[in-house]
Structure formats: structure tokens, C-alpha cells
Structure 1
Amino acid sequence: MVDVHALGWLPWRLVRVRGGSMEPALHDGDLLLVRRYRGQPLRVGDIVVLHRPTGPVRLPPGVTVEAGPVPPPRTGRLVKRIAAFEGDDAMVVLGDSPGYDSRLFGPVPASTTIGVVTRRL
């Protein structure tokens, strides 16, 4: 999860990391400078800020859950590293530590990208 603050009309955003899914590269509370995504090419290894997927979650083999009430989907944003591309518009995004990433929700469209991390401040 991240906090996003736009810098006016500039193509930059400040993002504060929440959680440890990107450790050891990024830590909870780190402030990131993010260039807004406007269709520029993305590369494997880029760290991106993206809209949190709210679709179905894939459970690892052998893991089951009991039926029960389904909580409303959480909205928000994620900071993840692009691990691979699938097809023309899908990318696999992973945390540097286990967490909520493409291992659970699968590939995401590149259009879910908000921006690309350029540096940690």
C-alpha cells in the first residue's frame, strides 16, 4: 500500500511506501519520486506504482479456504517490480519479499500503472 501525493501539474508524484513487500530494496516509510506513466515503454526490473487489482485471487496448490462472507475488495495502490511481460499488455509484478503480487492475482494490464519509481528520497 502507498500514499500518493501529486506535485501539481508536473509529471512527478511523491509516494510513501507502506508495508514490507519490497524489502530489502524499499522499506516501510520510504519516500519515492515517481514519474507518471503516460504510455512510455516499461522494462523488466522497473519498480512501478500501480492500481491494486481487485479481481479473484489464485491460491497456491494445496491451499484451501472455508466458505464464508466475502469482504469488499480493497482499493488502493501497490509498489512492485516488473518481473515479466505476457502478451502485448500484461505484466507480472512481484514484491521483493512475499506478499500480495502476481503470484496471487496473476498478470495485470500495463494500463494499471500509475508511475515508474525513479529514485528513493
Structure 2
Amino acid sequence: MLAVGAAIAVVRVRTSVVVVSVRGDSMAPALRDGDRVVVRRRPLARVRRGDVVVLKPPPTSEREDAYGTDRHGAGWNVKRVTALPGDPVPEGTAGAGPGERVPAGALVVRGDNPDSIDSRHRGCYPGGGLLGTVVRRLGAPRTPAV
């Protein structure tokens, strides 16, 4: 019986948690290129302002699908949530006018690095492209000693 319980626990962890490698410096200084993070799969309803999330960006060209993934599969973004559905759209968000609210099923995100490509350039991100929230930084993988 103990083995069955352990097997169920392993399956739950594998389906609810994923390790993601960070590429680029959009979240610097909090996260840097090469860092690995543990991401807990979460629906949009469980995300809070200030959470760091992994998600697909909105499409920016005809080469991309509905979640901004190009034909090579690239496109996951790591960003900080600044506004949730129903919140006022923050100033500087692309495509938003004064007094607008974040639509249902969307969120506004920004990278910690001011040079980040985020909602300031792409507008609201689709909540359907949300992988989950970052729960822990593991750091960069170790390189073998030479």
C-alpha cells in the first residue's frame, strides 16, 4: 500500500511541477540567463499580482500561433504579473487607452529588466497560455570542472 501511495505522489508532482530554464535577461536581476526555476502549474484564477509566471506571449506576426509560439517552438516568457482580469490596465501597456480594464482571461506582465519585451510592447497576454507560477529558483546548472 505504501508503494502505491508513493507512486501516486510522484505522478502528482510530475504533473503539477516543471523545471524551466531561463533564457535572456528580461527578469534580471531576480533571474538571469541560464537560471533554472521550479514552476507550479496554476490556472489564471490562482495567479496574484507580483507572481512571477511562465507563459506564452500574444502573437506578433503571421508566423506565430495564438500563443506567440513560432514554428521552432520558441516563445515561453518569464515575467512578473502587474495586473489581472478586471484591474485597471497599467499606464504604458501597448494598445490600451485611459480607463481600460484588463479583459477576462488576460493579464498584464512586465520583466524586471526595463529593457524587457513585455506588455509595454505586446499588450495583454492571453491567460490560456499560462504554464504556471515560479515557486523557487534553482540557479544555473553547474558546469563540469575542466
Fold equivalence (TM over 0.5): yes
Instruction: Kindly indicate which of the two structures has a greater share of residues assigned to strand.
Output: 1
Post-superposition CA distance 1:48-68 (Å, at most 9, x none): 000132236xxxxxxxxxxxx
Instruction: Kindly indicate which of the two structures has a greater share of residues assigned to helix.
Output: 2
Q: Is the 8 A contact 2:44 2:105 kept in 1?
A: no
Residue 91 (structure 1) aligned with residue 107 (structure 2): yes
Number of residue pairs matched by the alignment: 101
Q: Distance in 1 between the 2:49 and 2:21 partners?
A: 22
Q: Distance in 2 between the 1:47 and 1:90 partners?
A: 15
Residue type at the aligned position of 1:117: V
Q: Distance in 1 between the 2:78 and 2:22 partners?
A: 7
Residue 103 (structure 1) aligned with residue 102 (structure 2): no
Q: Distance in 2 between the 1:38 and 1:82 partners?
A: 14
Q: CA RMSD in A?
A: 2.1
Moved over 4 A (4+): none
The sequence identity of aligned pairs, in percent, is 42
Q: Is the 8 A contact 2:54 2:79 kept in 1?
A: yes
Aligned residue number for residue 79 of structure 1: 78
Q: Give the CA deviation at 1:76.
A: 1.9
Scaled by the length of structure 1, the TM-score of the pair is 0.73
Q: Secondary structure at the match of 1:111?
A: helix
Structure 1 residue ranges without an equivalent (≥5): 1-6, 57-69
Q: Give the CA deviation at 1:40.
A: 4.4
